[in-house]
């Protein structure tokens, strides 16, 4: 009988969101078990809100070797099932009687979410129990204060300049959509310079720099008619919530990171031989991200 489960989650938010179906499937299989999450400083405040998680323990990759060993040994013998989503040596040290495999071989184009699910194929059923992300009263009131209507949510910026949709094209897309749909623009505070005058357009509500990841689950879940985005955490949130999604892809693989919603369209340039390249620099003016605005507008209208 499995009474206690520990999951070693990825370090960054995007990968954690991609791995959430693992948590849901484990909770669906082991409904009475205690689930503990090993979190990073980047994911702690997010994962601690998930109803499927009973406890979180922090692992900091900047710790010295002695601190890491002390942490690992403190968990030894406490858990019946160990799910390692990072492929670390932690399962060896912990000695759990059931654990995910060390040898992992995936097809090159296998979706990242399916890779995570493959790790628990032999230790879980297929029933999933999604865990809501809990907001407190003040956080809900803040989200509701924006007075949103069902909208097209736009998230076309990225930390990587190579993954951003070209600004001039996005301007034309917003002009083409704003008379027919309410538009909500999402992003971090650092994205404000990318969006520029778009944030001051009539019919556009800017939430740039105003939301946390947990807020986005609430806002997209309750108000998104569709999400228009690039390869980003917001894309993975939209997929997880099964929202209609139009995703613009260039340097990264849509087969590995693309949307998994029931209703989704991937827009990419098929005639660019170097894409997807997975590189951090481009010598070809990021040609792969120059998707014609009319195609984007058409895709949005097709799914709404």
pLDDT grade, residue 159 (50/70/90)? confident
User: Which residues touch 96 (CB under 8 Å, ≥6 apart)?
Assistant: 6, 79, 80, 81, 82
CA 154 to chain centre: 15
pLDDT at 269: 85
Q: What is the pLDDT of residues 9-46, one digit of tens each?
A: 999 999 999 999 999 999 999 999 999 999 999 999 99
Q: Which two tokens stand for residue 27?
A: 């909770």
Q: Which pLDDT tens digit goes with each residue over 127-139?
A: 999 988 999 999 9
pLDDT score for 94: 84
Quick one: pLDDT at residue 277? 59
3-state secondary structure 159-189: CCHHHCCCHHHHHHHHHHHCCCCEEEECCCH
Asked whether the predicted pLDDT for residue 287 surpasses 70, the reply is: no
Q: Which residues pair with 220 in a beta bridge?
A: none
Q: What pLDDT sits at residue 103?
A: 81
Mean residue pLDDT of the chain comes to: 93
CB atoms within 10 A of CB 274: 12
Domains with residue ranges and CATH for the chain: 4-119 (3.40.50.2000), 137-302 (3.40.50.2000)
For the cut 90, the answer to whether the pLDDT of residue 290 exceeds it is no
- pLDDT given at position 92: 80
Integer Cα distance of 158 and 230 in angstroms: 8
DSSP for residue 134: P
Helical axes 112-119 vs 13-29, angle rounded to 10°: 40
pLDDT by residue (tens digit) across 235-276? 999 999 999 999 999 889 999 999 999 999 999 988 777 667
Mean pLDDT of 86-103: 85
- Enumerate residues 6+ apart whose C-beta is below 8 A from 202: 178
Segment 80-98 mean pLDDT: 88
Residue-wise DSSP of 204-226: EEE-TTS--HHHHHHHHHHHEEE
Phi first, then psi: what are they for 193, rounded to 5°? -70, -30
Separation between Cα atoms, residue 280 and residue 113, nearest integer Å: 23
Measured N-to-C along each axis, helices 293-303 and 167-177 cross at an angle, to the nearest 10 degrees, of 40
Q: 276 and 250 in contact (C-beta within 8 Å)?
A: yes
Percent of the chain beyond pLDDT 70?
96
């Amino acid at each position: 009988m499995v009474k206690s489960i520990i999951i070693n989650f990825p370090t960054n938010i995007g990968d954690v969101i991609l791995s959430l179906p693992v948590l849901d499937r484990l909770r669906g299989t082991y409904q009475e078990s205690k689930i503990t999450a090993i979190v990073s400083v980047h994911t702690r405040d997010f994962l601690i809100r998930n109803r499927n998680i009973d406890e979180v323990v922090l692992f900091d990759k900047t710790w010295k070797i002695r601190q890491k060993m002390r942490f690992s040994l403190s968990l030894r013998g406490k858990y019946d099932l160990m799910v390692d989503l990072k492929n670390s040596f932690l399962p060896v040290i912990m000695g759990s009687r059931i654990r995910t495999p060390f040898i992992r071989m995936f097809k090159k184009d296998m979706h990242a979410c399916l890779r995570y699910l493959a790790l628990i194929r032999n230790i879980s059923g297929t029933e999933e129990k999604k865990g809501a992300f809990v907001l407190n009263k003040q956080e809900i009131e803040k989200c509701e204060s924006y007075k949103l209507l069902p909208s097209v949510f736009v998230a076309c910026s990225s930390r990587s300049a190579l993954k951003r949709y070209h600004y001039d094209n996005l301007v034309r897309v917003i002009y083409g959509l704003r008379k027919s749909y309410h538009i909500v623009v999402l992003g971090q505070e650092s994205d404000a310079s990318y969006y520029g005058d778009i944030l001051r357009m009539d019919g556009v509500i800017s939430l740039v720099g105003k939301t946390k990841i947990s807020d986005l689950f609430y806002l997209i879940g309750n108000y998104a008619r569709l999400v228009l985005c690039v390869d980003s955490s917001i894309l993975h949130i939209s997929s997880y919530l099964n929202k209609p999604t139009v995703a613009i892809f260039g340097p990264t693989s849509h087969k590995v990171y693309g949307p998994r919603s029931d209703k989704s369209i991937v827009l990419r340039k098929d005639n660019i031989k170097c894409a997807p390249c997975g590189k951090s620099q481009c010598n070809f003016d990021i040609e792969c991200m120059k998707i014609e605005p009319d195609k984007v507008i058409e895709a949005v209208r097709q799914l709404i």
